[in-house]
Structure 1
Amino acid sequence: MHVRATTRDDLTAVDALLARSYPKLLKSDYPPSVLVTALPLISRAQPALLTSGTYYLVETDGRRLLGAGGWSRDRQMHQRGHIRHVVTDFTATRRGVGRRLLRHVLAEAQAAGIRDMECWSTFTAEPFYRAMGFETLGPIDVPLQPGITFPAIRMKQRLL
């Protein structure tokens, strides 16, 4: 299992990973009324993120895509970063994929001068982020489009 930065050529593979995994992973923690509006919006790869240099894939040696995710710098507070669009293939959960990815993301962000990392976690992933050292701050409604929000948990971690 290895981690590498994404390129524009990874768009289709990340799109497919998000589309097949988010519905399965989030189903038990969100009502259908939330998923029917949110999934079409959150289950799409973001081209600008894939070419940012701070978004990564976790692959097997055979190039099977197991996970994706990254970070971005806060535009106003330059020592703050944000965890971005993290997903693990629903068939590979609890096998160290997310842990490997997040350790890489946090190390890269810290090397780039990030001191505080914020995460808007799904309800599903909150225990994972807590186990990785994030502190729960409370609920947040993430705006997706006018009139559509996604309930999440705001979390943070101080990078040393």
Structure 2
Amino acid sequence: MPRISLDHRLATRADMPALAELMNAAIGELQKPFLTETQIASSRAIMGLDTQLIDDGTYFIVEQNGVLAGCGGWSRRETLYGGDRSPGRDAALLDPTRDAARVRAMYTHPTFIRRGVGRLILKLCEDAARGEGFTRVELMATMAGEPLYRACGFEAVEEVVDNRGGAGVPLLRMRKTL
């Protein structure tokens, strides 16, 4: 598919209902080739929006002509992945001289896949993290997201199965030097 003209901005709390809808569509559709229905339900339980990202001003929305195409952000905090209701979150600040910034909660609406949305979000996140002194970024990839992250220079460092939602969801911790 050809690249499209995309706009971006920081998300606000007023965007939360639209973001939740996009995340639900992305999890439900884009994970189908990789997960069972039970695993998709578990994925919904462990993933989602972390409002700390919105409050920190590190969560982006990508739109085409005012239509929400995707979202994602980065964090200077310890939590690697998961939404507001995920257990084990840690809001401790990272040290840019020693820690990797976190790329978090990346979702593309199914009608906008393979149009540059994910690459744009990654660039925005990497540029912002670099601007705050980070020299590395890491993320927890879903199986659907792994090909994009590899194509953008991320390398796998750890395979994980998250059982917190019931059925085990395979994930891949990935890292990149900026």
Scaled by the length of structure 1, what TM-score is found?
0.88
Structure 1 residue 46, shift from structure 2 partner: 2.7
Secondary structure of residue in 1 paired with 2:124: helix
Equivalent position amino acid for 1:88 in 2 = T
Structure 1 residue 76, shift from structure 2 partner: 6.2
Match of 1:103 in 2: 123
Give runs of aligned pairs for residues 46-125 of structure 1, distance below 5 A.
46-60=50-64, 62-73=65-76, 74=78, 75=92, 77-79=94-96, 80-125=100-145
State the identity %: 31
CA RMSD of aligned residues (A): 1.8
Q: Hey, what's the Cα distance between the residues in 2 that align with 1:124 and 1:46? A: 20
Unpaired segments ≥5 residues, structure 1: none
Match of 1:14 in 2: 19
Q: Hey, what's the Cα distance between the residues in 2 that align with 1:93 and 1:133? A: 19
Unpaired segments ≥5 residues, structure 2: 1-5, 79-91
Deviation readout 1:127-153 (Å, 9 max, x if unpaired):
1001001011131134646x6653200
Deviation readout 1:33-67 (Å, 9 max, x if unpaired):
2112222442x43322222211100012x211000
1:41 to 1:136, Cα distance in 2 relative to 1, 3 A: closer
Matching of residue 158 in structure 1 with residue 174 in structure 2:
no
1:13 to 1:155, Cα distance in 2 relative to 1, 3 A: same
Question: Which protein is richer in strand relative to its size?
Answer: 1
